[in-house]
Structure 1
């Protein structure tokens, strides 16, 4: 079974459901989980530099606080299930790349993540980050919806 499961979260209810699934798999296989939240960097434009710098600082602080809350919620679920949990918030330009690299660096043998739900008229498309992880990951990816 899987011994080290990576669980990317974005704070949505869907990612929390995926986290519960990943934690349960880890519990059943007596494995551990690593939880990651990727923070998109603040996008700036060259206009009124001092205001943008203050806005970027506020954005970074709020994004870090949200990340710690999301990570804390999932680690609490893991602790309740008796599963070892590591967590990290990371700034990354491309969330999918950060997720795939984290799985490699941590030697994870499974990624469990949310599908980002259905969208569009056809309701057949996966979220773009999930789709990119599926295409680029060297380890299996369990997509929860």
Structure 2
């Protein structure tokens, strides 16, 4: 089983990563951990280091990575991120996606959308949503 765990630095994305590490270990799977961004700075490196720590603590040899999308321009509309995740699903032959979900308020979801909802609604891959 090939699992994708997209992270965004939020606590819920790291809870999802912890779940994904356990899940892939239990089912002898392969885990890809990605952060989709259009830039790289010290905060991104800290995010990746935190992800590496979670993976190591769970016994995973997965190496968290950046996936660059130069078209998101710091205004990271969630539906665009969701589409980027779906592209990774297709390109990497992913079987399962494990994602966190912020919940968010109604205005945020109407204006920005939800990357998790975009992936779920596409109905292309199994998705576990971790609050």
What is the TM-score normalised by the length of structure 2?
0.78
Instruction: Work out which of the two has the higher radius of gyration on C-alpha atoms and give 1 or 2.
Output: 1
Determine the structure 2 residue equivalent to 1:6.
Answer: 4
Q: Tell me which moved more, 95-104 or 127-136.
A: 127-136
State the 1:101 CA deviation: 0.9
The one-character-per-residue Cα deviations of 1:64-89 (angstroms, maximum 9, x if unpaired) are x3233222222222222222313221
The answer to whether the 8 Å contact 1:96/1:132 transfers is yes
State the 1:95 CA deviation: 0.8
Q: Which runs of 5+ in 1 are unaligned?
A: 42-59, 122-126
Aligned mates of 2:40, 2:34 — CA distance in 1: 17
- Say what the alpha-carbon RMSD is for the aligned residues: 2.0
The aligned length equals 117
Question: Is 2:116 the counterpart of 1:139?
Answer: no
Aligned mates of 1:7, 1:83 — CA distance in 2: 13
Pair 1:111–1:120, CA change in 2 (3 A)? same
Aligned mates of 1:29, 1:83 — CA distance in 2: 12
**Deviating 4+ runs (over 3 angstroms):** none
